[in-house]
Amino acid sequence: MRVYQANAPENLGAVRLENYLAQAMPLLPARVIRDAFQKRDVKMNGVRAGKDAPVLPGAKIQLYTPFEIQLPVVYEDENILIINKPAGISSDDDGRGGMTVESLLQKENGYPRLCHRLDNATCGLLLLCKNSESEEILLEDFKERRMEKRYECLVRGEMRPPAAVKEAYLIKDAGNAKVRVITHGTPGALPIATQYETISFDGTISRLRVTLLTGRTHQIRAHMSFLSHPLLGDDKYGDRALNKRLKASSLKLCACELVLHPGGKLSYLDGKMFSIPAPF
């Protein structure tokens, strides 16, 4: 029997427990959640609760089921693990209180561990280390920006020019869990550089391949919105009217390619590219 846990945020509004679990545990099929309620295998703050119970702010919720979630593995050896992170779960705890990659890992002596992170709404390649030596090498690889990360996304409109490198500055707005892009440096602003090339344009939406030359929070989403080409399905920085018209209920952003240049103990991975197709 597996136990999946969620911690409801303190600022959570009125919501039924069944609806909350569908959001907090998106990798569990609806039938699994329904079955758990039918068998009275859902607890809130240690007390069995039904599907219509209102979720208490800050509550600890546990769901018991024989169903085991399998994270999609793209590559694994004795030193690293690369998974295809589904959209809708966070890499690690970010205050949402729901299911995370970290909470689903089967760890031994503290490993595997995340080497980087993807936003909750972003899917794609996520790299983890399986021992302290690989962790040190890979974190240095990220720090020195030797690792190549490429994304695919769908954006509003036609890119002009069809390929370019765009530079700007980004400021975090922690209170609203957002970032803001500006043209000039100012105290607290971090420089960003985003490279894109157009793969296709259908008259309304462009498909882009994006390379992060810097890796900042929400960089692609905020930068493309700043350039008047918000990502399809992005309700935080995007065009909600267009999302509604095109029925885009999820963010169209995927980490599709990862090229490693680690050296040292991991030199057998130098220049190795891992890739997956975007699911949209």
In the chain, which residue ranges form alpha helices assigned H by DSSP?
17-24, 30-38, 101-104, 132-143, 219-226, 240-245
Q: List CB contacts of 278: < 8 A, sequence separation 6 or more.
A: 124, 152, 252, 254, 256
- Residue 174, classified by CB atoms within 10 Å of its CB into exposed (0-12), middle (13-18) or buried (19+), is exposed
Instruction: Give the separation between CA 228 and CA 207, rounded to whole angstroms.
Output: 15
Q: List CB contacts of 240: < 8 A, sequence separation 6 or more.
A: none
Instruction: Give the separation between CA 82 and CA 149, rounded to whole angstroms.
Output: 13
Instruction: Give the separation between CA 65 and CA 32, rounded to whole angstroms.
Output: 7
Q: Strand, helix or coil at 38?
A: helix
- What does DSSP say about strands 178-182 and 73-76: parallel, antiparallel, or unpaired? unpaired
State how far the alpha carbon of 229 is from the alpha carbons of 219, 224, 246, 252, in Å.
Answer: 13, 5, 15, 13
Packing angle of the helix pair 17-24, 30-38 (nearest 10 deg): 140
Of the residues 35, 41, 92, 119, only one is catalytic, namely 119
Within 10 angstroms of residue 70's Cβ, the number of other Cβ atoms is: 8
Give CA torsion, residues 43, 119, 261, 278, to 10 deg: 100
Task: Clarify whether 235 is annotated catalytic.
Answer: no
Point out the residues that are catalytic: 119
